Structure 1
Amino acid sequence: MNTTTDNWHEVETTARRILGDEIVAHIDQCRQTSEPQSHLIGVLHKIQAQHGYLAEAHLDAVAQLMQIPAAKVAGVASFYHYYRLQPRGRFLINICLGTACYVKGADRVAQKLIEELGIQFGETSTDGVFTLEGSRCLGTCGLAPVLMIDNEVHAQVTPDQVPVILEKYLSRVRRESHASSGPTGSLTPLRRLP
Structure 2
Amino acid sequence: MRSSGKIMEATLEVIAEHGFDGVTIAGVSAAAGVSRQTVYSIFGTREVLVTRTMEHLAVEVMTEIRSRLDGPETVRDYVVEMVIGGRRAVRDIPAMGALLRLDGINPVLHPDVVQHAIPVVRDLLSPLTALDPRVAEVLDDIVLITTRLGLSVVLFDDPSIADDDDLRAFLLRWLPASMTVPPG
TM-score, normalised by the number of residues in structure 1: 0.30
Structure number with greater Rg is 1
Higher relative contact order, chain-length normalized (CA < 8 Å, sep 6+): 2
TM-score, normalised by the number of residues in structure 2: 0.31
